[in-house]
């Protein structure tokens, strides 16, 4: 197999030929057909997440076909198309796992962070954490659903059922969740980097009622806002934009420090929440919804060997929608 490997933090990934791997008990091997590039991959490369593991193969929006099955795997077949998300394994016995909150598991394994991921021609996954994807939709179009879509979905659920929804940071996740929110009959207000007219126009094509800079006030008070950008300054701005009792959800795994702000922005029962990881039930719920709703993802495709270019373009905001690597 070949892979783009992170050998040392804050250095470019390196094209590497590795021995083929065999799935262990409960595992499957997947021939990777597409793997999305997520903001979290940048945090992994930059060493911004705790207890980094290197060398590591990043990538946790994996679409591919099963080409080997280990012992004790049930319900999956050779050649079946599956998706592998960020949540790679949970312990099943900690208090969080037992209260149906496996996203908060005390002993998790994360794909592309603490276990090798999908920036490769093949990967090994825990069979119980792989989602059967069926045959509808291309591999490239499905890949961004595995994290941008899934984390966005969990954020949207936690944001509540308010009608007017602000999305701060209109990247891969927001471009999917804007479509979901529209299908649910909500109004979407898209906030981009100030002056980013191209992304604002992109948001309008996806049904946003309004699009502007993150330094602007929306034309009406919002019921809820989701912050996908990794910028802590957006927290007080979003609190300012939501009505009494409104919710602000921080969707990212990492964010710059939140500046101090007057208590008045939080008062009147506004709520500030964060989203961590996903549960398998989120995946089941979201993937079913996404296919029923006909969600369309916009992707820029890069050959696997050009993973560093994809990461640099993501960092610089050089494309709209998602980036997807293809071996």
Angle between helices 148-158 and 280-293 (to 10 degrees): 100
Q: How far is the CB of 62 from Zn ion (least distance, A)?
A: 11
Residue placing its CB nearer to Zn ion in the complex, 221 or 274: 274
Residue placing its CB nearer to Zn ion in the complex, 33 or 314: 314
Q: How far apart are CA 214 and CA 193, in angstroms?
A: 6
Across the chain, which distance is largest between two alpha carbons, in Å? 59
CB atoms within 10 A of CB 29: 21
Residue placing its CB nearer to Zn ion in the complex, 51 or 135: 51
Q: What is the DSSP string of 69-109?
A: E-TT--S--TT-EEEE-SEEE--S-SHHHHTT-GGG-SS-E
Q: Which stretch binds Zn ion (CB under 5 A): 38-46, 123-131, 184-192, 223-231?
A: 38-46
Nearest-CA neighbor of 216 among 195, 232, 230, 198? 195
91 touches Zn ion by CB under 5 A: yes
- Interacting residue with Zn ion among 94, 158, 273, 301 (CB under 5 A): 94
Q: How far is the CB of 294 from Zn ion (least distance, A)?
A: 23
Q: Please tell me the count of residues contacting Zn ion according to CB under 5 A.
A: 8
Q: How far is the CB of 107 from Zn ion (least distance, A)?
A: 6
Nearest-CA neighbor of 268 among 291, 248, 249, 298? 248
Residue placing its CB nearer to Zn ion in the complex, 212 or 252: 252
Q: Give kind and range of the element (H or E) at residue 165.
A: strand 164-168
Residue placing its CB nearer to Zn ion in the complex, 93 or 201: 93
- Interacting residue with Zn ion among 45, 57, 62, 90 (CB under 5 A): 90
97 touches Zn ion by CB under 5 A: yes
Label residue 268 exposed, middle or buried (CB < 10 Å: 0-12, 13-18, 19+). exposed
Residue placing its CB nearer to Zn ion in the complex, 150 or 190: 150
- The residue to which tokens 């191209």 are assigned: 198
Asked if residue 209 lies in contact with residue 187, where contact means CB atoms within 8 angstroms, the answer is yes
145 touches Zn ion by CB under 5 A: no
Residue placing its CB nearer to Zn ion in the complex, 202 or 228: 228
Q: Provide the mask over 103-142, with x wherever binding to Zn ion is found by CB under 5 A and - wherever it is not.
A: --x-------------------------------------
Q: Which stretch binds Zn ion (CB under 5 A): 30-38, 119-127, 243-251, 281-289?
A: 30-38
Residue placing its CB nearer to Zn ion in the complex, 193 or 254: 254
Q: Which stretch binds Zn ion (CB under 5 A): 94-102, 127-135, 137-145, 277-285?
A: 94-102
Nearest-CA neighbor of 223 among 168, 165, 267? 165
Q: How far is the CB of 191 from Zn ion (least distance, A)?
A: 20
38 touches Zn ion by CB under 5 A: yes
150 touches Zn ion by CB under 5 A: no
Q: Calculate ∠ Cα 276-278-279, nearest 5°.
A: 135
Q: Provide the mask over 210-229, with x wherever binding to Zn ion is found by CB under 5 A and - wherever it is not.
A: --------------------
Nearest-CA neighbor of 124 among 34, 37, 62, 54? 62
Residue placing its CB nearer to Zn ion in the complex, 147 or 181: 147
40 touches Zn ion by CB under 5 A: yes
Phi-psi region of 308 (alpha: psi -120 to 50; beta: other; left: phi over 0): alpha
The pairing of beta strand 222-227 with beta strand 242-250: parallel
Q: Given the rule CB under 5 A, which residues bind Zn ion? A: 38, 40, 90-91, 94, 97, 105, 147
């Amino acid at each position: 197999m070949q892979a783009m490997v992170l050998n040392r933090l804050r250095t470019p990934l390196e094209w590497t030929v590795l021995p083929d791997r065999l799935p262990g008990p409960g595992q499957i091997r997947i021939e990777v057909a597409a793997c999305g590039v997520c903001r979290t991959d940048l945090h992994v490369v930059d060493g911004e997440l705790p207890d980094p593991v290197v060398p590591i193969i990043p990538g946790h929006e994996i679409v591919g076909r099963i080409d080997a099955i280990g012992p004790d795997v049930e319900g999956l077949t050779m050649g079946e198309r599956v998706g592998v998300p960020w949540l790679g394994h949970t312990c099943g016995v900690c208090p969080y796992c037992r209260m149906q909150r496996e996203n908060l598991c005390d002993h998790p394994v994360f794909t592309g962070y603490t276990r090798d991921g999908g920036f490769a021609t093949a990967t090994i996954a825990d069979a119980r954490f792989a989602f059967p994807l069926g045959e509808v939709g291309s591999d490239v179009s499905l890949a961004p659903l595995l994290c941008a879509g899934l984390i966005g979905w969990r954020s949207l659920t936690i944001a509540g059922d308010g009608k007017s929804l602000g999305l701060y940071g209109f990247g891969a996740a927001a471009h999917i969740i804007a479509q979901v929110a529209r299908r649910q009959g909500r109004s979407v207000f898209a906030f981009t980097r100030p002056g980013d007219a191209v992304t604002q126009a992109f948001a309008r094509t996806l049904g946003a009622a309004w699009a502007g800079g993150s330094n602007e006030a929306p034309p009406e008070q919002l019921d809820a806002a989701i912050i996908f950008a990794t910028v802590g300054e957006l927290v007080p701005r979003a609190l300012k934009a939501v009505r009494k009792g409104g919710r602000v959800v921080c969707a990212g795994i990492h964010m710059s420090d939140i500046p101090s702000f007057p208590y008045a922005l939080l008062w009147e029962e506004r709520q500030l929440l964060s989203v961590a990881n996903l549960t398998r039930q989120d995946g089941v719920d979201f993937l079913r919804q996404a296919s029923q709703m006909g969600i369309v993802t916009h992707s820029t495709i890069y050959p696997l060997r050009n993973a560093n270019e994809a990461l640099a373009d993501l960092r610089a905001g050089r494309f709209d929608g998602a980036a997807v690597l293809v071996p």
